[in-house]
Amino acid sequence: MIQQSREISDKAYVPESAVCPVRDRALRALAELPPFSPILNRLIANLAQPDVSFGKVADLIEKDAVLAGNLLKLVNSALYGRRGTINSVRHAVSMLGVDKLRNAALSMSVARMWSHVKTPSGWSLASFNLHAVGVAILSDLLAQRLPVDDGEGAFAAGLFHDLGWLLLVLGCPEEYERAAGLFQQNQPSGPDFESQFFGISHAELSADALAIWNLPKPIQMAVHDHVRPEQDSSPGQRPIALSQVVNVADQYVQQRGHHLSAFEQRPTAVEIIDYFGLGAELAGLLGDFDAQFSSIQQFF
């Protein structure tokens, strides 16, 4: 299931700058990304508490008119099949529940903040956001159904697993463009090519960024290992590494047509999610994914 690598023997791939300078320049671009709003930070902190107060959460959301409007739009979408219209943020919060509210707020807020970032031509922030959210939703759904180590971090790991690509595009646009052209000509293995050309892979760069953001260590490690999970290869192995869940979700979302990077090699047309042997639960999981993903796409 994990894609096999192909050796890259052509040393001409490697530019003189492809060591620490690329990493340093890419991470400097992290500081140029719009920060999370104070309201979003407070909202996530409140949702992480075991005795979360929906009233307090609703009060915070109402202070962000765009987020409040989007959540009402989400609750009134076909996903919830309501006959009447929900006009109250408090009612919407109670309907969504803690997990869906946290995931929706994080997805919408991150996409909104990053929508103002200026990227080179040929790079689509909409595609980046859709891919990230798709992987986040599916990782979270898998973690709810499987014995996954640190499964509570599945959504965040999925959402930020490819952050390194955005940093490379912003911090090293010329290197990225040249590398993309070489990759398309030769089609080597993605991770090997990245490391030889940039001196670092996008997964390593993503993990470095999450460390700067002080996200929990298990999320950093899952992102770092998601291209080649350490604990993989055995469908019956339990517990399942979070990196394996993100890897499978990433491949499935790509297979569904939501590609991100010029360096991604398209997975073969197999039912990737069945790798975990979900059996009768598989149809329900994919149905939930389709419903949640289709409802969130309207905000991108």
HEC letters along the chain: CCCCCCCCCCHHHCCCCCCHHHHHHHHHHHCCCCCCCHHHHHHHHHHCCCCCCHHHHHHHHHCCHHHHHHHHHHHCCCCCCCCCCCCCHHHHHHHHHHHHHHHHHHHHHHHHHHCCCCCCCCCCHHHHHHHHHHHHHHHHHHHHHCCECCHHHHHHHHHHCCHHHHHHHHHCHHHHHHHHHHHHHHCCCHHHHHHHHHCCCHHHHHHHHHHHCCCCHHHHHHHHHCCCCCCCCCCCCCCECHHHHHHHHHHHHHHCCCCCCCCCCCCCCCCHHHHHCCCCHHHHHHHHHHHHHHHHHCCC
**Is 216 among the domain residues?**
yes
- Answer whether residue 155 is part of any domain: yes
Q: Is residue 134 part of a domain?
A: yes
170 pLDDT band (50/70/90 cuts)? very high
- Same domain? For 62 and 76 the reply is yes
Q: Are residues 126 and 249 in the same domain?
A: yes
Structural domain contains residue 167: yes
Same domain as 78, residue 12: no
pLDDT tens for each residue of 19-44: 468 899 999 999 888 887 888 888 88
The string of pLDDT tens digits covering residues 116-166 is 788 887 788 888 888 999 999 999 999 999 999 888 899 999 999 999 999
In a domain, residue 214? The reply is yes
Q: Is the domain of 128 the same as that of 218?
A: yes
Helix (H, G, I), strand (E, B) or coil at 196: helix
Domain boundary among 98, 116, 134: 116
231 and 82 inside one domain: no
% of the chain surpassing 70 pLDDT: 81
Give a yes or no: residue 1 inside a domain.
no
Give the model's pLDDT for residue 188.
Answer: 55
**Vertex 24: Cα angle to 20 and 26 (nearest 5):** 120
238 or 103, which is more confident: 103
- What's the rounded Cα separation, in Å, for the pair 154 and 152? 6
Q: Which of 116, 143, 176 is the last residue of a domain?
A: 116
Q: Model-level pTM?
A: 0.84
Same domain, 58 and 200: no
Assign residue 169 the CATH number of its domain.
1.10.3210.10
Q: Distances in Å between the alpha carbon of 77 and those of 15, 85, 179?
A: 49, 10, 41
Residue 26 and residue 98 share a domain: no
User: What pLDDT is attached to residue 12?
Assistant: 40
C-alpha span between 286 and 132 (Å, rounded): 17
Of the pLDDT bands very low, low, confident and very high (cuts 50, 70, 90), residue 51 is confident
**Mean pLDDT, rounded, for 253-282:** 71
| pLDDT given at position 43 | 85
Residue 2 lies in a domain: no
Domain end residue (candidates: 96, 116, 136): 116
Q: Are residues 194 and 76 in the same domain?
A: no
Q: Residue 272, Cβ neighbours under 10 Å: how many?
A: 20
- Number of structural domains, the chain? 2
Clarify whether residues 187 and 278 are in a common domain: yes
Q: Tell me, yes or no, whether 157 and 87 share the same domain.
A: no
- Residue 142 is predicted with a pLDDT of 93
Looking at the structure, do residues 101 and 217 belong to the same domain, yes or no? no
Comparing 11-25, 76-90, 104-118, the range with the smallest average pLDDT is 11-25
106 and 69 share one domain? yes
* Per-residue DSSP letter, 82: -
Residue 167's pLDDT is what? 94
Which residues form the domain of 169?
7-33+120-300
Q: In sequence order, which residues have a C-beta less than 8 Å from that of residue 75 and are 6 or more positions away? A: 82, 86, 91, 92, 95, 96
